[in-house]
Amino acid sequence: MSRFAKVLVGSFLLMLAGSASVLAAPLPRIGIIGAGDMGGTLGRLWVKAGYSVFFASRHPQELQPLVSSLGSHAQAGTPLQAAKFGDVVVMAVPYGALPALAKSLAEPLQGKVVLDVANPYPQRDGEVATQALQAGSGVYSARLFSGSRVVRGFNSLAAASLAADAHRPGEALAVPLAGDDKNALDTVAQLTQAAGFAPVVTGNLATATLFQPGSDLFLQTLTADEVRQAIHQ
């Protein structure tokens, strides 16, 4: 074999090795704080898609039946453990709990993707919810989790709709997403697809008002094209 041919073969093998390393890239680990209807539904879908999920609540011992039913890719513990575990950490708690969580988990959440699925309801969450709705829920959540890369998503849909329509036949159920960090948005979009839905990025966090409580898109089960059409009306 000539020297030139050896160089070509070597280059080809390096290319294959690089492709293999990309294909073998590990899936991001997911921490979910709040394992109620929304957190439990999303966690189940991601475990079924092959992701490792750490569920957390104030009473982690009560999550053992859920974890046992999902197998080796699921575990449960405290919010601190979930924040340390996850490359992506999902906030699936009442909005009023976010300020305390943001403060107590600031260090482990530094630089991580925080997927905020919580909705602000003043009658339940008090003044923090009123402020969030006035400022825009995405913008306000980013202020709380100032060291993290916040994405708003899944909050516009009921957990029952997500459970019923994941991987549905035909056009997928759309999930609006908003964020300021492109890489964080890309990560959450991949998780959205893995769970069986069609991600639709509305824009930066300021655009999360398009699908927060009281908006035209809130609780609407639409396709991706229908969401885009509604946004651009």
Contact 36, 59 (CB under 8 A): no
* Number of domains present in the structure of the chain: 1
Confidence (pLDDT) at 25: 79
- pLDDT tens digits, the chain, 233 residues: what are they? 555 444 444 444 445 445 444 456 799 999 999 999 999 999 999 999 999 999 999 899 999 999 999 999 999 999 999 999 999 999 999 999 999 999 999 999 999 999 999 999 999 999 999 999 999 999 999 999 999 999 999 999 999 999 999 999 999 999 999 999 999 999 999 999 999 999 999 999 999 999 999 999 999 999 999 999 999 87
Rounded Cα distance, 81 and 54, in Å: 8
Question: Do the domain assignments include residue 19?
Answer: no
Report the C-alpha gap between 90 and 111 in whole angstroms: 14
pTM over 0.85: yes
| Cβ proximity of 73 and 47 under 8 Å | yes
* Residue 56 near residue 77, CB atoms below 8 Å: yes
Cβ-based burial of 163 (10 A; exposed 0-12, middle 13-18, buried ≥19): middle
Predicted pLDDT at 20: 45
Instruction: Report yes or no on 13 lying in a domain.
Output: no
Backbone φ and ψ of 218, nearest 5°: -70, 130
Block residue for tokens 């089960």: 221
Q: What is the C-alpha to C-alpha distance for residues 219 and 156, in angstroms, rounded to an integer?
A: 5
Q: Which amino acid is at 218?
A: F
Beta bridge partners of 33: 56, 91
Residue 9 belongs to a domain:
no
pLDDT at site 232: 87
- Taking alpha carbons only, the member of 110, 152, 115 closest to residue 34 is 115
- What is residue 3's predicted lDDT score, i.e. its pLDDT? 54
Q: Which CATH number covers residue 59?
A: 3.40.50.720
Give the residue numbers spanning the domain of 216.
26-231
Which residues make beta-bridge pairs with 152?
116, 178
**Helix or strand (DSSP H, E) at 201:** strand 198-203
Q: Could you tell me where the DSSP H helices lie in 49-126?
A: 64-70, 79-85, 98-104, 122-125
Residue 22 is predicted with a pLDDT of 44
- Residue 47 within a domain: yes
Q: What residue has token string 């999930």? A: 175
Question: In this structure, which amino acid lies at residue 134?
Answer: Q
